[in-house]
Structure 1
Amino acid sequence: MPRGRLRIYLGAAPGVGKTYTMLGEAHRRAQRGTDVVVALVETHDRTHTTAMIDGLEVLAPTPRGELDLDAVLARKPELAVVDELAHTNGPGSRHAQRWEDVDELLDAGIDVLSTVNVQHLESLNDVVAQITGVAQRETVPDAVVRAAEQVELVDMTPEALRRRVAHGNVYGPDEIDAALGNYFRAGNLTALRELALLWLADTVEDQLGRYRAEQDISATWETRERVVVALTGGPEGDTLVRRAARIANRTRGADLQAVHVMRNDGLTGADPAVLARQRVLVENLGGSYHQVAGPDIARALLDFARAVNATQIVLGASSRGRFAQLLTAGVGVTTTALAGAIDVHLVPHERAGKGTRAQRMPAALSRGRRLAGLALTLAGLPALTGLLLTLAPSLTTDILLFLMVVVAVALIGGLWPALLAAVAGSLLLNWFFTPPYGRFLIAEGDNLLALVIFVVVAVAVSWVVDQAARKTRLAAEAGADAQTLATVAGSVLRGTRPLPALLERLRETFQLTSVTLLERGEVVANVGDSACTDVAGADGAVQVDDELVMLLCGRSPAASDRRIVEAFAAQAAVALRQERLAAEAATARPLAETDRMRTALLAAVSHDLRTPLASAKAAVASLRSTEVHFDEDDRSELLETADESLERLDRLVTNLLDMSRLQAGALGVTIIGVGAEEVVPRVLDDLGPDGRAVITRIPDDLPALLTDPGLLERVLVNLVGNALRYSPADRPPVITASALGDRIELRVIDHGPGIPPDRHDDVFLPFQRLGDRDNHSGVGLGLALSRGLAEAMGGTVTPEETPGGGLTMVVTLPAG
């Protein structure tokens, strides 16, 4: 069975018309003969959206208002309309989130139309929260939305959307002012719109990349500027990166990508410390860093550029001499010749190309082995000469035996002893075994050719063996360096403070007494003994950048260890930067939280405080009016309305003040012993007629509670009030009490829709409203205040699932 196709309507904010547009597409499909059903649509009581459902088959939701997945699968339409892809399902649902329900429908071969707002995309959730001050708890993975066959942006200018809100087409009349003054500010909507457009552009770019790969298209399509800068690990890299960044910045939305091409053997002269610094520079300029390998640097560079659909390449102009240019064209010339439609910028630099020159190759073999090879030459060749003079074989046999000795010398002593053996062997063959004997002359041309071949083969074999030995040694050193860096990375990642861990690992690896990192002469980090503060007094110094220098004390690192030490230094600079960013983030987090709470408080003041004020004012204004005569019943009803509104206003202000005192640690608490049977009846009285339906089960022998009776009463009023709000009419809340050791548990049990376990803690966040369907409908302080008051009395408030469905709030307090 083929998998169904998913089409998603993406919006920048609530109210742009996602659901309306989706239903319009459903009507068009139905008119074309497609079997369409509306599996679930959230109209939010919007008149125009509700009208769009007329004429479509609608499936009933579950009793809890969720998508009836089994009913849709049993009906098996060609197309199902499922609104709000990011919605979190209630308890008892098959899946935790609605996008998982949609995935099952797609697996069953059913096409789906759905909607999602940009604030629910996982990758943008925190960004939207920072912009709007409203944290959305319902998210959908980006991969789910990107996997859709079509993603259509339902766009609207901020001005048009604000007019729509002002006309009452999005929220009710009592919510319009709060919406326009908070979430729907013009700046917020502009930022959200830009996020949606950029995210969709990236999605389209992914689709284009898949199409190019499927059609095997390698030619560059200039749909978006992408600048690739080639880095060699040389000093010219900083200049190239900055030049490439300036080119990219000339076009809005352009990408900057840096790439370093390694040879396949992995043995390169690039300085890892320089590459690490250049990588940081690229990332600071908004680019990304990549590393690829290939036998041909120019072709590997072009393969990478074409793979990312690059439009421009920036690389350094070669500074090689004329003779070298005659031998090979060079990377720059070759890249330009093969680039095709890609623009190539060759940037001159006085030190360009110097970073790619291989470092001086170390000796392949130890001094002892070279001496052994020399000894074999000096002893073996005369011994072989004497043996051959005794046996008198043919010249061909003589040459092969001498060649065997040369190969043996190359294997033992390397290149130079083998070359000495080859020259000495050719002279011995000429003097003793080639006519005329006893003279350095060769009478026959065949003998001359044989000797020449002997020398050439001996030299070639010696060079190959020596090169293999050198590369083996370099590979071993590279492996050791890689192992060291891997160990460093592991220790840094496992630690909470990466910079000290990195410096300590450097100190241990090279047996140093101390390692100090200086910034403009000031010590920013140190491990080991007392910090070094003077470059002249240190055993080694590594200049990380213009401001940072690392000082090593205890021993001077060997020349062969210099590169690995520089890599440590470069990573130390990165770790220092990360620590400072983390510190800045930690400093900014409370400020952001304060700003978020301030935004939410303004929303509360503008709506939840304004509503009772408006009701009270309207009642008093009516009573004072001389134009209308009210009888006693009307006057009594208006006075009751004013009294209820002012009482509600008093509760809201009290909650706000208490939350402020809790956060400031200034709330007064008086702990005394009191029985639960005394507090609970007062709580039910405070709740009025609704409280009479609550069932209480308090044992007669329950110990007294050590608590503040007034604060406990407020905690229970909030909890029981919530339970009443969400409980079915035929199953009222239950309050139970029990002793557990030196603690007493009061349980407020309801059988309502409940809350998913992974979101239990969310309900205790101040000003928290779950979901995005109503961002302006309450202060959201009740549960947050209840937990704060309980903790101030030495207790806790924790949520649990009610068996059979619902939520149980457990208040735990000390027993008297």
Structure 2
Amino acid sequence: MARGRLRIYLGAAPGVGKTYAMLQEGRRLRSLGAEVVIGLVEPHGRRPTAALADGLETVDRRTLVHRGVPLTEMDLDAVLARRPQVALVDELAHTNVPGSRHTKRWQDVEELLAAGIDVVTTLNVQHLESLNDVVRQITGVTQRETLPDEVARRADQIELVDLLPETLRRRLVHGDIYPADRVEAALTHYFRLGNLTALRELALLWLADRVEEGLQRYRAEHGITAPWETRERIMVGLTGGPEGETLIRRAARITARTPGSELLALHVVPGDGLTHGDPTALSAQRGLVESLGGSYHQTTGEDIPQALLRFAEAENVTQIVLGASRRGRLSLLLRAGVGQRTIRDSGPIDVHIVTHEAAAGTFASRPPRPAARGSGPARSWSAFAAAALLLPALTLVLTAARGSLGLPGALVLYMLVVVLTALVGGRGPALLTAVAASLLADYYFTLPLHSIDVARTVDIVVLIVFLAAAWLVGTAAGAAARHTRQAVRATSEARALSRMAVAMMRGQDLPALLEQVRENFSLASVSLLERAPEPGPEPRWYVVASTGDRPPERPWDADVEAPVDDRLTLAARGRGLSGDDLRLLTACAAQLGIAHAHGRLTRHVAETDTLAAAERTRAALLLAAGHDLRAPLGAAEAALGRLSDLVRAGGPGGQGGPGGGPDGEAAHLLSSASASVRRAGALVTDLDDLSRLHAGALDLYLRPVDLDEALTAALDDLGPGGHGIVLRLPPQLPDVIADAALLTRVLTTLAADALRHSPPDAPPTLIAETQPDRLTVRIADGAIGAPANGGAVTDRPGDSLPLRLSRDLIEAMGGALDTTTTTGHVFAVTLTLPTSAGRPAPAPDHQGRGI
């Protein structure tokens, strides 16, 4: 099924006519035979808008109740069931009423588009997520409803509904936008002339950027490389030299004189794919470019002028600003400078050559770096070309001076050509150059002349020695040049990795680090991808961070991939990389993996710190509450005890009751109140102990404890009720490792809780079983076919305060506590405690004994 098309009417402010334009488009499409329905339209009481909606089929809204108030929303299911060709849906950024299928209306629209329904909708520029903070600064109003920019960018058509600010204010005064009671406040606040002008400019600029994106996409799809001067783009070429700031300021002045133009700065990394300019100077120049409103870029190229022009064509640059060459005149005679070669191949792009202080020749004596040239076959062909030019020229000069130099002098000069060839191309070209030089020396400088025959034996020896020496010197020179290139390469790699490490130490986020990688390797886009942990027929990948145009979302969408581990990989689109560059990219990917892990760990630590702070606050509050409640509870218990004594004193022979006898109902109520106060006091004690336990202030004395003694003490603490508990214990119980007092307290608490929730005819059960290296104690409520005390059957909470304290105490002693509820509403608590190593645990014996 084909996806529907999305058309957005964009406005700078409410009231410019977006909904009106949407309804007009709906009527136009219906006149052309399309099925058009209104999914949702908000006329806001504007009569012309409501009148325009009459006659168009409308899908009834869905009513939802939120906080007791009935609210209406678009009935998404009804629109999908109606399945029109076009749906009109107003206010794309709207937040749906809680209870709707989706949180946002744009998500409803996405579902309509996925169903193949075209959607026409409206949007105000202040609702775009990227402009939310700018709009707040301009208007002082925070927009609560926002729309991700990516949703708007995916629209097939965006049309600006424009209105002059003065006209919009007149519409407001005439009551065409808001009711009369809101006009004055709107005119003096949101609808101020300056606000409307700024919002209109924001809308125009945002839409212009979207048009630019569409233009770039069209040029890429149709293979158009020639610049289209729809907008002036001035690019300044930077080398990292001292002239950079002069060039940037000159380009910025050109940009300032051309309204709507854009400033770009480009540094081309020559040859080996890594920066050779001064990193400090480049960093300062980058900051200057960005402070002047421009953008900094970096690319790699064997040929600097071609790299400049390639980037200029890709970015639709119209003017290039370059500095005058710092090379000397002799060097320029041998090879044209970057500026001259750029001018020669620039075509319709204007090139400005700017003079500067460093162009006077300060750096003219510096020889070119071998590492800045090509490598591999390109270097070999350059060496062959140099030999093909130098050997004939030198032979021509030597034949003219044959009488004065002779064979030895000629061979010495030929040796210079061999050495130069070795420096450029390595051992192979040097050897071939030596053979060619030997043949030329034989032909022109040995008797008989102009023949390859050698008449004298000494000349044969000299030529053989020359050939051997030339081979040795060429080999040594080639190896030295190769090692120099490798050293430069290694230094550059170390510098690149160091820059990334420094950026990580400074806390730069992953998108900034990925942008550095993209620029270093001249890639179109880079993504850090993470594979989803859940298994599936096809692995699912998530984009952790990305940069560049159309970054890959899956590894197989990329041109280059550098895995970090089995779940993380670095994927890139753009040019192919050499083996050395791929190795360096893998090292950068490893650093990015470390940065990602560090960021995740930092977030986890922050969350842990937040939870720890909340836990400390909770513990402090519990301690304070326990301290404050202990005194009034004690006073209430004493008062109830005194009142109970007074009631009992009102019996026969007492003076307490008006009838001369005790008030039985009052005595029962006083007894219940006293029990409740005592229970509240016990809860406060439990809260205090729980807080002390979490704070590490509760002392534990772990030692072997006889469980029989602990059970006996617990049953004694329960009083008469404890004798009703059914015990099923093996004949011999091993000692458990625990704190005797705390274990007795836990058993008492759990047994009392079980008694309280068991009916009188079904007492709770306590079962102990021995297992290897541990002992389990299970305390279960009585089987309740009917609820205790005639009440309703209710499930026991597994996280009550007594259970929580008991669990924490048992875990502090190295044990475990679990709760279960069976189908018959039987609630059971199981304690597991380690046994003493000094007493072996006997086999379990289910022959129990009871009390």
Q: TM-score, normalised by structure 1?
A: 0.51
Aligned equivalent of 2:148: 141
Pairs within 5 Å for 1:194-593: 194-266=201-273, 269-352=276-359, 443=457, 450-493=464-507
Look up the equivalent residue of 2:301 and give its one-letter code: G
The DSSP-based 3-state class of the residue aligned with 2:62 is coil
The CA deviation at 1:481 is: 2.9
Summarize the Cα distance change of 1:492–1:354 in structure 2 as closer, same or farther, 3 Å threshold. farther
The CA deviation at 1:2 is: 1.6
Deviations 1:340-383 (A, max 9, x none): 11110000112149789678899xxxxxxxxxxxxxxxxxxxxx
Summarize the Cα distance change of 1:445–1:25 in structure 2 as closer, same or farther, 3 Å threshold. farther
Deviations 1:550-575 (A, max 9, x none): xxxxxxxxxxxxxxxxxxxxxxxxxx
User: Percent same amino acid among aligned pairs?
Assistant: 57
Q: 1:442 & 1:188 partners in 2: Cα distance?
A: 99
The CA deviation at 1:256 is: 0.3
Is the counterpart of residue 84 in structure 1 residue 91 in structure 2? yes
The DSSP-based 3-state class of the residue aligned with 2:475 is helix
Look up the equivalent residue of 1:45 and give its one-letter code: G
The DSSP-based 3-state class of the residue aligned with 2:178 is coil
Q: 2:88 & 2:146 partners in 1: Cα distance?
A: 19
Look up the equivalent residue of 1:30 and give its one-letter code: R
Summarize the Cα distance change of 1:68–1:245 in structure 2 as closer, same or farther, 3 Å threshold. same
Look up the equivalent residue of 1:458 and give its one-letter code: L
Q: 2:287 & 2:43 partners in 1: Cα distance?
A: 49
Unaligned runs of 5+ in 2: 65-71, 372-417, 448-453, 510-627, 633-672, 681-799, 802-851
- Candidates 114, 118, 123, aligned match of 1:116: 123
Does the CA contact (< 8 Å) of 2:234 and 2:255 recur in 1? yes
Q: 2:21 & 2:172 partners in 1: Cα distance?
A: 18
The DSSP-based 3-state class of the residue aligned with 1:63 is strand
Deviations 1:200-226 (A, max 9, x none): 111111111111111111111111110
Q: CA RMSD in A?
A: 3.9
The DSSP-based 3-state class of the residue aligned with 1:290 is strand
Q: 1:55 & 1:286 partners in 2: Cα distance?
A: 51
Aligned equivalent of 2:2: 2
Q: 2:343 & 2:48 partners in 1: Cα distance?
A: 60
Summarize the Cα distance change of 1:320–1:358 in structure 2 as closer, same or farther, 3 Å threshold. closer
Deviations 1:291-342 (A, max 9, x none): 0001000000001111110110000011322321222111100101111111
The CA deviation at 1:451 is: 4.6
Q: 1:30 & 1:358 partners in 2: Cα distance?
A: 74
Summarize the Cα distance change of 1:494–1:306 in structure 2 as closer, same or farther, 3 Å threshold. closer
Deviations 1:41-73 (A, max 9, x none): 111121111111111010112213222222111
Q: 1:26 & 1:71 partners in 2: Cα distance?
A: 19
Does the CA contact (< 8 Å) of 1:16 and 1:155 recur in 2? yes
- Candidates 97, 117, 139, aligned match of 1:132: 139
Q: 1:66 & 1:42 partners in 2: Cα distance?
A: 11
Is the counterpart of residue 103 in structure 1 residue 110 in structure 2? yes
Aligned equivalent of 2:182: 175
The CA deviation at 1:461 is: 2.3
Aligned equivalent of 2:37: 37
Q: 1:441 & 1:192 partners in 2: Cα distance?
A: 95
The CA deviation at 1:477 is: 2.6
The DSSP-based 3-state class of the residue aligned with 1:139 is coil
Does the CA contact (< 8 Å) of 2:268 and 2:301 recur in 1? yes
Q: 1:128 & 1:336 partners in 2: Cα distance?
A: 44
Q: 1:360 & 1:165 partners in 2: Cα distance?
A: 70
Summarize the Cα distance change of 1:457–1:186 in structure 2 as closer, same or farther, 3 Å threshold. same
Does the CA contact (< 8 Å) of 1:269 and 1:359 recur in 2? no
The CA deviation at 1:141 is: 1.4
Summarize the Cα distance change of 1:442–1:48 in structure 2 as closer, same or farther, 3 Å threshold. farther
Deviations 1:577-630 (A, max 9, x none): xxxxxxxxxxxxxxxxxxxxxxxxxxxxxxxxxxxxxxxxxxxxxxxxxxxxxx
Q: 2:363 & 2:458 partners in 1: Cα distance?
A: 52
How many residues were matched structurally?
449
Look up the equivalent residue of 1:125 and give its one-letter code: N
Aligned equivalent of 1:559: none
The CA deviation at 1:449 is: 5.4
Aligned equivalent of 1:12: 12
Summarize the Cα distance change of 1:84–1:175 in structure 2 as closer, same or farther, 3 Å threshold. same
Look up the equivalent residue of 1:117 and give its one-letter code: N
The CA deviation at 1:456 is: 3.7
Summarize the Cα distance change of 1:355–1:80 in structure 2 as closer, same or farther, 3 Å threshold. farther
Does the CA contact (< 8 Å) of 2:274 and 2:496 recur in 1? no
Look up the equivalent residue of 1:33 and give its one-letter code: G
Aligned equivalent of 2:162: 155
Aligned equivalent of 1:74: 81
The DSSP-based 3-state class of the residue aligned with 1:351 is helix
Which structure has the bigger radius of gyration? 2
Look up the equivalent residue of 2:244 and give its one-letter code: G
Q: 1:47 & 1:267 partners in 2: Cα distance?
A: 65
The CA deviation at 1:7 is: 0.6
Q: 1:133 & 1:294 partners in 2: Cα distance?
A: 48
Summarize the Cα distance change of 1:452–1:124 in structure 2 as closer, same or farther, 3 Å threshold. same
Aligned equivalent of 2:414: none
Quick one: higher RCO (CA 8 Å, sep 6+), 1 or 2? 1
